[in-house]
Structure 1
């Protein structure tokens, strides 16, 4: 039988075999404190700065006059932002806003149609089993790896044969089919839409289109929002396809319109400030789009859950 020893001062000392365990510090096993991964954090911070420095330069350079642009410190704000806006608005009777409207048309309509095609195709590839399904999916993966520059000239030749080269449709039709969007839709449909729900809808007498529209589509919505955002940004920033397809500057998107302004700036340096100000304004719709649809990622991930 083990007895407790009385220590000097009247305190009772616990026997050696019954001593309380030393509390562990939170962190790694064994009580060792968790160390911060400085190297990955530093690399991420440097990468973020590398991406943000050109954006900061555009914000600052848009505030400078033509003289300040080449004579002042790079990140020192100027005094000509309002004058640059007025000159950009007045340039060729506001052709810049026509270019922005064209970009909104190509990106908005193209992203919507591409998302719809991707949703239908991805759902079909994920939910239905048919001969040649894997071959089709492998072909789509090859399309994801295909550089756009390889497809641009054949697309121009096909649209020229159809008499559509030079029209707005020539810059819109090629972007509707997105292999990457179909790939994402298939992966997301396979993960977010349980087959039991689809089978239950069929047992209840629902048609395939109704099952897709009422059951599968709400569950796929967060993924479709991502596909829409990717496609909108890709079409908004697209330069090669409009450059090959379009010849009328009234049908140009912003990328091609600003490119023409930049070429003219070689002989008229005053146009450089218009190009920079136009590039700054071209980023604003993308920021507003992201801020307006980012809530769907948090809300619809919960609303698309399957309740038992």
Structure 2
């Protein structure tokens, strides 16, 4: 005889219904990081800074459209009744048989040679200080940091005496060679190379049998391009605007850069010598001289980015 056991669940009845807990109504919390914070005061300050930097350029452009008489008889920050821009440009390129083009060519040669050479040397030195350990490395790097504090004007006379002994005075090398040394560029590239080039990439290249020069030029160089472009731009601007060193080491007018050549025109105009005043031509020549720098910045801006090494090394 079999006995049936009653189902306990059936006897207990259906499952009790648990009342739903009402949710608290309220505004959803939003993190401050989700929306960028805007400051009106900061916006006003940045606009004033922008105006501070653009105002001299605006004056330079306005003044280059005026004649010599309009420069002294009209308001400085606005145009004259008639534009003399084309006449001023013609004067710039025809005065002294077109010597301005010679100065422009010299400036381009000095600036490009110095910028490319300084960027390459600073990149190699910074990479070496960041990735290699050798006796006296910290002491040498400390000496490089100390040389940043020395003003370039204080080195002009010793540089002249050194080049005079070597017979390099009044040659393009007297301007190019001192510009190849960039202590700040070495410091910047050491800091950048320490983070941009991972040690595992170097070790992997060594395991594959690559030499140190091949590792630098084919692996590290590609990751150091943003920092290298930064040093190149700094050196390019510094050499383009360099005045005191070319003034000391150069004697021939055909070797002058734009800075020294325009200063020579300014001295001629201020002294009252010459057949005609050159004030408008000097201003127009100065305005033309900044156009290559603007083009260089716009062209190299896309290389001036960080994070090229993102994804090359998996963490």
1:9 aligns with none
Aligned: 1:247 with 2:251: yes
2:303 aligns with 296
Describe how 1:103-118 pairs up with structure 2 within 5 A.
103-118=107-122
Contact 2:127 2:193 in 1 (8 A): yes
Query: What is the TM-score with the length of structure 1 in the denominator?
Result: 0.89
Deviation at residue 18 of structure 1 after TM alignment: 4.3
Find the aligned partners of 2:309 and 2:199 in 1 and give their Cα distance. 18
Question: Which of the numbers 235, 240, 244 marks the counterpart of 2:239?
Answer: 235
2:223 aligns with 219
CA RMSD of aligned residues (A): 2.4
Change (3 A) 1:218 1:263: same
Find the aligned partners of 2:129 and 2:46 in 1 and give their Cα distance. 37
Find the aligned partners of 2:235 and 2:265 in 1 and give their Cα distance. 26
Deviation at residue 278 of structure 1 after TM alignment: 0.4
Q: Which runs of no fewer than 5 residues in structure 2 stay unpaired?
A: 1-17
Contact 2:242 2:259 in 1 (8 A): yes
2:87 aligns with 83
Describe how 1:38-57 pairs up with structure 2 within 5 A.
38-57=40-59
1:154 aligns with 158
Contact 2:229 2:300 in 1 (8 A): yes
Contact 2:67 2:84 in 1 (8 A): yes
Deviation at residue 288 of structure 1 after TM alignment: 0.7
Considering Cα pairs closer than 8 Å and 6+ residues apart, tell me whether 1 or 2 has the greater RCO. Answer: 2
The SS at the match of 1:205 is: coil
Larger radius of gyration between Structure 1 and Structure 2: 2
Question: Which of the numbers 8, 20, 23 marks the counterpart of 2:25?
Answer: 20
Contact 1:219 1:305 in 2 (8 A): no
* Range moving further from structure 2, 94-103 or 64-73: 64-73
Find the aligned partners of 2:231 and 2:143 in 1 and give their Cα distance. 19
Q: Which has the higher helix share?
A: 1
Question: Which of the numbers 128, 132, 135 marks the counterpart of 1:131?
Answer: 135
Contact 1:219 1:304 in 2 (8 A): no
